[in-house]
Amino acid sequence: MTPAKRSLAVYSSLVVAFAASLIALGTPPRQAIAAVIVIAVQSATGAVWWAKVRSRNIGPIERAGMGLALGTGAATISGAILGQVVPDGLAWAAPTLLTIVIAFPVLLRRRALQRRARPTRARRTPLAPAVLALIAGGALGVASIAVNVLKYPLNWVGSVTSYHQDMFYFEALATSITRFGPSDTIFLADGTIRYHWFTYAWAGQLSEAIGAGPFVVLTRVLPLTALVGTMLIAVFWSQRLTRGRGRWAPTLAVVLIVFGGYLGATYGTILNFDSPSQQLATVWMLGLSVALLESTRPRAT
């Protein structure tokens, strides 16, 4: 299988599995598909940037993981800055539009150079251990999310007592940041509340972009996005550290992350379901760590 076909197979499998998992977790199908499309666009934007930074052949797992981390982060910043200017919940798309304008001519020029260059055989990182790790970690992670989702129904009659009390505040905060920006708040008429809002800005922007109902993104889309992003980065990073020779290293890394995050099925150290900010911040932290380490590596001359 050619590298292009391998990459296409990986990306297609991730998209299908993501959408199917969202629907299985109770997300309305139309909103699930819309969320997958938006996240895929954000991830593709970040992947283009990462490929440019790395300036060398990278595998599909690394491209997808770093693309998700960088793309969602850039979309959040764009939405926070331009949210009051760009209507209809499209402020998050500014990095994508900018990337298309800048990257398209560069890609055309690169393809022309590749046609003239002599083909070389790049060292491939084994794909089978990565796929095994993603399947094992994904199954455990989705099962853990499903256990928690039982406490968070999207529809109810009367009152609901199973929700964590903070989740109502998080949903209101996400809506507030999206509609009024990070410098204003719906909680106070004349004042501000200083709270770590970055994750909730992404959740609110995505909710507005896809027309999601209350708590859909916070309790379904965000946990699954954090799980996938964390697994992807853990898999390719473990393979890089072991130089592709540790067959079980990716699976061990992913399983430790999932179990460490759902110790006791609710509270954990990494993927804490009741703390959306901690979940998505883990993806951004891992992506930033990889990017910083990459920036310190000596460049070949």
Which pLDDT tens digit goes with each residue over 74-131? 999 999 898 888 877 788 999 999 998 887 776 666 655 555 555 445 556 778 889 9
Asked whether residue 25 carries a pLDDT value surpassing 90, the answer given is yes
Read off the pLDDT band of 235 (50, 70, 90): very high
Nearest to 147 by CA among 12, 293, 276, 26: 26
Asked whether residue 268 carries a pLDDT value surpassing 60, the answer given is no
Determine which of 6-20, 81-95, 186-200, 240-254 has the lowest per-residue pLDDT on average: 186-200
Asked whether residue 16 carries a pLDDT value surpassing 50, the answer given is yes
Q: Would 72 be classed as within a structural domain?
A: yes
Distance, CA of 238 to CA of 216 (rounded, Å): 32
Distance, CA of 91 to CA of 172 (rounded, Å): 20
Determine which of 53-57, 67-71, 157-161, 168-172 has the lowest per-residue pLDDT on average: 53-57
Read off the pLDDT band of 270 (50, 70, 90): low
Residue ranges making up the domain that contains 195 = 3-296
Q: Would 40 be classed as within a structural domain?
A: yes
Between residues 292 and 181, the one the model is more confident about: 292
Read off the pLDDT band of 264 (50, 70, 90): very low
Query: Do 260 and 139 contact (CB within 8 A), yes or no?
Result: no
Query: What is the average pLDDT score of the chain?
Result: 84
Question: Tell me, what's the pLDDT at 178?
Answer: 87
User: What pTM was estimated for this model as a whole?
Assistant: 0.88
Average the pLDDT over 53-58 and give the result: 75
Q: Would 263 be classed as within a structural domain?
A: yes
Question: Tell me, what's the pLDDT at 115?
Answer: 56
Q: Would 301 be classed as within a structural domain?
A: no
Instruction: Provide CB contacts within 8 A for 163, sequence distance 6+.
Output: 151, 152
Helices (H), 222-275: 222-241, 249-261
Asked whether residue 250 carries a pLDDT value surpassing 70, the answer given is yes
Asked whether residue 57 carries a pLDDT value surpassing 80, the answer given is no
Average the pLDDT over 40-46 and give the result: 94
Count of domains forming the chain: 1
Question: Tell me, what's the pLDDT at 221?
Answer: 96
Question: Tell me, what's the pLDDT at 263?
Answer: 46
Average the pLDDT over 258-276 and give the result: 62
Average the pLDDT over 214-218 and give the result: 93
CA angle 103, 104, 110 (to 5 degrees): 85
Q: Would 106 be classed as within a structural domain?
A: yes
Q: Would 120 be classed as within a structural domain?
A: yes
Q: Would 273 be classed as within a structural domain?
A: yes
Q: Would 288 be classed as within a structural domain?
A: yes
